[in-house]
Amino acid sequence: MKFNQRLSFRKEVTPAIFAKMMLDPALIIISMFLLAVYFDHRIDRTFIMAVLLVFALAFPGGWSRVDTIRAELIRILSSWPLFVAVLWFFGYATGYLDMFSQDLLLSWVIITPIVMLLAHVGLTKFLTSIHYTSHVTRTAVIVGANKLGLQVRDRMLDDPVLGLQFQGFFDDRSIQRLGFGEDEQAQHLGTLASLSATIRRMQVDVIYIALPMTSQPRLLKLLDDLKDTTTSIYFVPDIFMFDLIQARLDDLAGIPVVAVCETPFSGTNGLVKRISDVVIASMILILISPILLILAIGVKLSSSGPIIFQQRRYGLDGQDIIVYKFRSMTVTENGDKVVQATRNDQRITPLGRFIRKTSLDELPQFINVLQGRMSIVGPRPHAVSHNEMYRKLIKGYMIRHKVKPGITGWAQVNGYRGETESIDKMKARIDYDLDYLRHWSLSLDMKIIAKTIALVFFDRSAY
């Protein structure tokens, strides 16, 4: 199983990057203003405060190049409802909702995603057009035709929005040693000794150095040779070849440091995640309260034992938490040895089999979400005994605890739900959990929630 890794460095604010940051917040605000004018809504201090709140929640935008209109529509519709729900929560809590007409709010909710779709498609066509690229494209070369250098080249070639025109490699190895094919031989521009003279002759704009950090003498000599050029120089650290979790560049009192394993929910992301959890969990608990009452009565009447099974699990940063479930078995194992439920397990009650199949036994965990112990979406919590066993068998197992455990997760909607009777299956589940940490976004959360709802009705693997 192979997943893409993403490393976020500080970026030069080019027109393309600025557009990515500002596009969605600007469209959302412009739609609000235009609809306010259309509905003759008073643009006063209250309206301006609401606009600032919306902008703060929307910035920076998450726009990326559109591959297909259908995929972009799905992406927008998977994140927009959650954004609206968060705003509704703020508006209801502060009383701002009463200051806007229902026609204005409804029109804004419906029209804005349509405007966003049209703008995303139009801007993608513009940023990939010859007219744009001919004005912003800069020539670039790469020092080091190794695996990392090849990845940098591929990013340049695959994303014209970057505005970088790849010229070739500089490497002391011969074409034969590099293993270049006939179509790649022209990409070898020369050795490191010829770099300075060649880039002046070719008028290269940017140099990316992809040499390993162990090549310090070569790097110092190379940088010294480039001092009499005006070319921009970037160093691509070979830590990119590691297994990175939310890697990003930061600084410690002015000293640059690179995070290679960090939670995706630091800073603003953590606030957004928490707000979305509270809003969605509150709404769901209100809607399912009659179901909770019926299930509680059913569990009590179906077999002897407590209605709620309290499980000890590992939470954020490996801290012990208590997780709630409707009891579905005749036993309440929660000690040092826990046997996973299997198909046709005699310990499962008749009602328990139904609520496990439909995931109704997990509903009390929305209370855990409000308590702050869990999140709606995240790696599923395992029994403590299973954690202690698998952390010794699967490399990187405990990294999944960099975030709160979830009621549903990326692994569960990709077929790894229920019993994990082999190490390979558990490893695959962990791979999906770590992939979630690498690529978290609100739209991914909404996608997982939607797929989970579908699995409740169609999945046949849970028991």
pLDDT digits (tens, 9 = 90+) for 421-458: 788 889 999 999 999 998 888 778 888 888 888 777 66
Query: Does the pLDDT value for residue 370 go beyond 90?
Result: yes
The mean pLDDT value for 371-385 works out to 90
pLDDT at 11 exceeding the cut of 50: no
| 344: DSSP letter | T
Please check the confidence at residue 157 and state whether its pLDDT lies above 60: yes
**H helix runs in 239-348, sequence order:** 268-302
Q: Is 138 exposed, middle or buried (0-12, 13-18, 19+ CB in 10 A)?
A: middle
* CA atoms in the 13 A half-sphere facing the CB of 404: 22
Q: Amino acid identity, residue 374?
A: M
Given a cut of 60, is residue 333 above it in pLDDT? no
Phi/psi-derived region of residue 418, left when phi > 0, alpha when psi is between -120 and 50, beta in every other case = left
More reliable by pLDDT, 209 or 341: 209
Structure tokens at 180: 């270049």
Left (φ > 0), alpha (ψ -120 to 50) or beta: where does 393 sit?
alpha
Q: Nearest Cα to 231, choosing from 139, 136, 133?
A: 139
Note whether 341 and 347 are within 8 A (CB): yes
d(CA 159, CA 128): 9
Residue 12 binned pLDDT confidence (cut-offs 50, 70, 90): very low
More confident residue, 442 or 200: 200
- Burial state string for 275-304 with b = 16 or more CB within 10 A and e = fewer than 16: bbbbbbbeeebeeeeeebeebeebbeebee
Is residue 330's pLDDT more than 60? yes
Q: How far apart are CA 103 and CA 35, in angstroms?
A: 10
Interval 14-24: pLDDT, tens: 555 566 778 88
Residue 336 has pLDDT above 80, yes or no: no
Q: Which two tokens stand for residue 376?
A: 């709606």
> Above 80 in pLDDT, residue 3?
no
pTM above 0.75, yes or no: no
**201-214, pLDDT tens digit by residue?**
898 989 999 888 77
- The b/e string for 349-364 (b: 16+ C-beta within 10 A; e otherwise) is bebbbbbbbebbbbbb
> What pLDDT was estimated at residue 432?
93
Give the pLDDT score at 107: 92
Mean pLDDT across 96-111: 86
The pLDDT of 142-146, averaged and rounded, is 90
- Residue at token pair 């306010």: 36
Distance between CA 54 and CA 120 in Å, rounded? 19
Report pLDDT for 90. Answer: 72
pLDDT of 2 strictly over 50: no
Residue 206, beta-bridge partner list: 140, 232
Average pLDDT, the chain: 81
At 374 the pLDDT is: 94
**H or E stretch covering 212:** none
β-strands 255-259, 206-209: how paired? unpaired
3-state secondary structure of 315: coil
Report which DSSP code applies to 340: P
Angstrom CA distances, 172 to 193, 219, 229, stand at 8, 13, 21
User: Please, which residues have CB within 8 angstroms of residue 254's CB and are 6 or more apart in sequence?
Assistant: none
Q: Which of 86-95, 131-140, 148-157 ranks highest by mean pLDDT?
A: 148-157
- pLDDT 10s digits, 237-284: 776 656 667 767 666 666 767 777 788 887 778 888 898 899 889 988
The CA-CA-CA angle for residues 165, 167, 172, to 5°, reads 145
Model confidence band, residue 131 (pLDDT cutoffs 50, 70, 90): confident
Tally of helices (H runs) and strands (E runs) in the chain: 15, 12
Q: Given pLDDT bands bounded at 50, 70 and 90, which one contains residue 169?
A: very high
Q: Do 415 and 461 form a contact (C-beta atoms < 8 A)? A: yes
Q: How far apart are CA 332 and CA 309, in angstroms?
A: 7
Report d(CA 21, CA 348) in Å as an integer: 51
What's residue 19's pLDDT? 65
Burial of 56 (0-12, 13-18, 19+ CB in 10 A): exposed
C-alpha 275/C-alpha 282 separation (Å) is 11
Q: Among positive and negative, which fits the CA dihedral 190, 195, 201, 202? A: positive
- Residue 13 — pLDDT band, cuts 50, 70, 90? very low
Higher pLDDT, 9 or 86: 86
Region of 240 on the Ramachandran plot (φ > 0 left; ψ -120 to 50 alpha; else beta) = alpha
Nearest to 34 by CA among 131, 114, 98: 114
Q: pLDDT higher for 399 or 359?
A: 399
pLDDT digits (tens, 9 = 90+) for 35-78: 988 888 888 887 888 888 788 777 767 677 777 888 888 888 87
* Contact (CB, 8 A) for 418 and 380: no
One-letter identity of residue 243: D
